[in-house]
Amino acid sequence: MGKNVFKIFTLAFGLCGASSLMGQDYNGRAVYDLSGPVKECQVSPGTAFGADKISFMPDGRINNCTLTFDWDGRAIGSNLNLYKNSRIVNLEYDDLGHLTHVYSEASYGVAPGNFEADLTYCDNAVCQMVIKEIKGKAPRKFIYSYSAPVVDDKGNWIERTVDYKVMDIASHKVLEDKKYTEIRKIEYYE
């Protein structure tokens, strides 16, 4: 379920290259569909869109993970080479600053490191994310459709309904289909 995809995102963002500009504000929070001065976010039962628990530095960078940022402070990816192994992560945004596409490829293994994710937004929040494994013997597609969000006074969702499906890409057969509720507990900097 979400835990498997959590591992995908953890691998993609947990093994990152580094690049930063002194004194710049960063928007690493956008990678996790968060805005404002978020200090920490905890999700249960776990989510496809990030970690069970993620924390941020006051300037917006993700703790324990330094991505490459562009001049506007958006995380745009990383390129890591480690002992003959490499990982490439590219992040793309729309004109409003929403993360719309993630590409991750690793030279080692197949899943969970090799995937593409496309995100769709409705009313300024993610309403669907489709993750496709791009290597492997039986690649799958994970479809997360989000609805009925409850938001806090900062505009971040704190509860939402998730319709979750896993499909075999080749046969289009549905391997798993369920509905559940995600809850986020968000702590902000003052």
pLDDT by residue (tens digit) across 129-142?
999 987 777 889 99
The domain tally of the chain equals 1
Instruction: Read off the pTM.
Output: 0.76
Confidence of residue 65 (pLDDT cuts 50, 70, 90): low
**Residue 60: pLDDT over 50:** yes
For residue range 2-23, what is the model confidence (pLDDT) as tens digits? 444 433 343 344 433 333 444 4
Q: How many helices (H) and strands (E) does the chain have?
A: 1, 11
- Residue 80 pLDDT: 61
Query: Among 34, 41, 20, which residue's Cα sits nearest to residue 183?
Result: 41
Percent of the chain with pLDDT over 90: 32
Which residues constitute the domain of residue 149? 2-188
Cis peptide before 112 (omega within 30 of 0): yes
- Residue 6 pLDDT: 38
**Residue 153: pLDDT over 90:** yes
The SS3 of residue 70 is coil
- What is the pairing mode between strands 140-151 and 115-122? unpaired
Residues whose CB is less than 8 angstroms from the CB of residue 107 and which lie 6 or more positions away in sequence, other chains included: 84, 85, 86, 87
- Residue 14 pLDDT: 40
| Position with higher pLDDT, 133 vs 79 | 133
- How far from chain centre, in Å, is Cα 90? 12
